[in-house]
Structure 1
């Protein structure tokens, strides 16, 4: 799946797709509530009200860089809370390579935040050691985000993620810690969007008068555009995450900005009364 923003090309590489089984992350998004939002169907939900979501990476090609935004779950990882996320053997790298993005062709890895389903392919297991998957890339982490998980990964699952998917990058000298509003070249600017995690960042892309927004996990699903207060169970600060959603969606609503979610496909945000709705492309 491809999208273009001026001279920037974005390609979605899917690791896992799900229909339903999302109540653990969005408990208020019941089938009945989702059926009340017909604009979600069929692109983002089924007729029965089951949510459609994916775990994916976005490859962003600018005239000068080849960036992987977020890296999914990864293989051979242990200590995850969700059983199907442990010890995976997924052909994700083969899929990337077949799409024209061999790991060694990537020069930048950019993580919107450092949760389990956004950092997994940062590393791979080689000879019993976790090594950077993208050997020629610099890994860009938000400084606030990195320092939070470095100092506060107290729960066993959080510690496992940091130790196998984040710390090895820093230990290898491949990590660049940046401000949450840093500019990365001519086309890429970070936007601080805290709430889901302490240092969560979204990504603004601007090229040739066109504009795109990669939201990360500001919202896990477009239903949160209508229900801004439906905070994810994974949000570190549910009140802040709701405020961030309102602010970010208001900024880009009713504009031509192409919006791509951390777990859903592209569309445009429109105002809908006191909230918003999401209009899918095509």
Structure 2
């Protein structure tokens, strides 16, 4: 069964796709190798939840099956991801919103599925959201062929179907549904966002003092080792200094508030509460199926 966490009156489900080989983590965070015994394990998974007004939301869509990809860890995957999503109660036809934290290969793959040799939207009744800054960046650069291929099979079919919405994300974030706020976290990519969930009915504190809170990191934080050393950057950050600023700001927003941090690539247990420690932070692991509303 998919793992889940309670955030006030909300239930957030982790839907697993695949575990990356340790070499992928070492490649993404080359400076972290010495800081993590046994390699850097990273997971490809997405998060699904239902808002207070009944909208069914999926955050990111993983790598996807049957893709031609330059990275061997992502090439030609064949996983039961859609079955797992349905098992969590989110059959593709039932999803209302797909939030894309950024437009990288391992976050957009299940945007589409192969239908007789044509890539079609996997979630035909959903609006797909990403930040306008993110879209404008990739529309303005000369992409290498592997990235153009990813756009052709996973992004452009959604746009061409009229399902893609571009969101102007303000400095203080932008609410897209009751209790769902997009937070700007530029650096890994120019328009990357994190997703903050707040159940304002519980009144138990959190980053916005509005109730029980969870934050889905996107690639603002790739791995828990970056809490101890927020200056640790990814090989593929477009703006490493900006990525560090965003990471510190996101961790500081969550620190010592009781907010649940849900890492988009964190290995199990995937979730935890952030505490200040020295010049950095530490993650207090939170196992699935426990309440995330009490302050830590």
Normalized against structure 2, the TM-score is what? Answer: 0.87
Structure 2: how far apart are the matches of 1:19 and 1:81? Answer: 15
Task: Tell me the secondary structure at the aligned position of residue 279 of structure 1.
Answer: strand
Task: Tell me the secondary structure at the aligned position of residue 178 of structure 2.
Answer: coil
Are 1:73 and 2:63 counterparts?
A: yes
Q: Find the partner of 2:120 among 108, 123, 131.
A: 131
Structure 2, unaligned stretches of length 5 or more?
202-210, 288-296
Structure 1: how far apart are the matches of 2:60 and 2:50? Answer: 14
Task: Tell me the secondary structure at the aligned position of residue 5 of structure 2.
Answer: strand
Are the counterparts in 2 of residues 7 and 62 from structure 1 also a CA contact under 8 Å?
A: no
Q: Find the partner of 2:177 among 175, 181, 185.
A: 185
Deviation at 1:19, TM superposition (A): 5.8
Structure 2: how far apart are the matches of 1:49 and 1:84? Answer: 19
Deviant stretches of 4+, over 4 Å: none
Task: Tell me the secondary structure at the aligned position of residue 197 of structure 1.
Answer: coil
Are 1:173 and 2:167 counterparts?
A: no
Are the counterparts in 2 of residues 259 and 267 from structure 1 also a CA contact under 8 Å?
A: yes
Q: Find the partner of 2:133 among 139, 144, 152.
A: 144
Q: Find the partner of 2:246 among 241, 244, 247.
A: 244
Deviation at 1:148, TM superposition (A): 1.3
Instruction: Classify 1:84/1:33 alpha carbon distance in 2 versus 1 (closer, same or farther; 3 Å).
Output: closer
Structure 1: how far apart are the matches of 2:235 and 2:80? Answer: 29
Normalized against structure 1, the TM-score is what? Answer: 0.91
Partner of 2:105: 116
Residue pairs, 1:15-30, within 5 angstroms: 15-18=17-20, 20-21=22-23, 22-30=25-33
Task: Tell me the secondary structure at the aligned position of residue 282 of structure 2.
Answer: strand
Partner of 1:204: 196
Residue-pair matches, total = 267
Structure 1, unaligned stretches of length 5 or more?
35-47
Are the counterparts in 2 of residues 153 and 159 from structure 1 also a CA contact under 8 Å?
A: no
Partner of 2:94: 105
Are the counterparts in 1 of residues 7 and 214 from structure 2 also a CA contact under 8 Å?
A: yes
